Each structure stands twice: as C-alpha cells, then as structure tokens.
C-alpha cells in the first residue's frame, strides 16, 4: 500500500507504538517492472495459512540480508543485475506458496535457467499472490508474454 501512496519504491513498517514508518527510494531508470495477474483469486488468509509457525534462523538471516540490500540495488544508477537477482531469492514464503499458484515455480525459475531472456533480471511472487512480478531491463512485452505462456502450460489464464 505504501508504494501506491508514495510512489517509487518504499520500505515501510509499523513502530512499537503503532506509528507508520516509510522511506521512499527511486528505482534505477534502467529497471522496469512487469506484472502478470493470474485469472483467479487467492485470499491472503489462505496464502498465510500455508506458512510455517516457525522458521530456521538461517532462512530468516538469508531473507533479512537480501531485504537490506535490495532497495539499494534497485536504486543504483547502474544496477547490479546479478545482485538484484540474488536479493530477490526467498526462503520465507515463495516456496511455501508455489502450490497455490500453478506456474509460479516455473516463473520463479525463468531468470535462473539457461534460456533466460537477456533482459530478465528476476521474478517474484508479489505479496501473498497470485500476481507474479518480473524485474527487467528491456523487452518487457516479450517477458510478460513468456510468463503468461508459462502459466498457460498449467491452464492458467492471465
């Protein structure tokens, strides 16, 4: 919600006293976002229900490290696409939600495969889903169609 209100990229949280905290950062001009919205609803309650009650410390540290670096990497004048790709890896929610979004696993694998389009930087589940986000440096329409075709192999329209 904070990005919709403030624009650009945002990092937000709630303080112990309930006050909203927001910092806005500008994305690199060379980065573009593509979103593919599968043609079905996924309630946040259902998406949260598949998450474990406890996480391994190593997985939490893995994600926290990447959360700290990602806004800096996305805002760099000349983005380090390898760093962005690494920072968008996740151990907290995407693997647990793959079965809720048919084709998600395949979309998440696109940037890491041998046939990765040259302008595709990374992909991620957007929030609780089912929307899937791609970060690109170009060929946005081609990458969006690739993601749609990937979902179509699982009989999912988008």
Q: What is the pLDDT of residue 127?
A: 86
Please list the alpha-helical segments (H only) found in 54-103: 57-75, 81-87, 94-97
Q: What is the pLDDT of residue 3?
A: 61
Q: What is the pLDDT of residue 14?
A: 95
Question: Rounded to an integer, what distance in angstroms lies between the CA atom of residue 96 and that of residue 79?
Answer: 29
Q: Could you tell me if 10 and 3 are in contact, meaning their C-beta atoms sit under 8 angstroms apart?
A: yes
Q: What is the pLDDT of residue 136?
A: 96
User: Average pLDDT per run of 10 along the chain, which is 158 residues long?
Assistant: 67 94 91 95 95 97 95 94 96 94 95 88 93 95 96 96
Q: What is the pLDDT of residue 72?
A: 93
Q: What is the pLDDT of residue 114?
A: 83
Cis peptide before 130 (omega within 30 of 0): yes
pTM confidence score:
0.89
CA atoms within 13 A of residue 41's CA, in its CB half-sphere = 3
């Amino acid at each position: 919600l904070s990005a919709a209100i403030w624009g650009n990229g945002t990092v937000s949280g709630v303080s112990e006293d309930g006050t909203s905290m927001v910092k806005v950062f500008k994305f690199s001009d060379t980065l573009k976002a593509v979103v593919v919205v599968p043609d079905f609803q996924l309630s946040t309650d259902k998406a949260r229900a598949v998450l474990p009650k406890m996480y391994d410390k190593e997985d939490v540290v893995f994600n926290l490290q990447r959360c700290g670096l990602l806004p800096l990497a996305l805002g760099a004048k000349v983005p380090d696409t390898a760093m962005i790709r690494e920072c968008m890896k996740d151990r907290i929610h995407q693997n647990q939600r793959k079965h809720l979004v048919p084709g998600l696993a395949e979309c998440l694998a696109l940037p890491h495969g041998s046939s990765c389009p040259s302008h595709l930087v990374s992909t991620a589940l957007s929030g609780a889903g089912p929307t899937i986000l791609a970060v690109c440096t170009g060929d946005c329409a081609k990458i969006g169609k690739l993601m749609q075709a990937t979902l179509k192999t699982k009989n999912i329209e988008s």
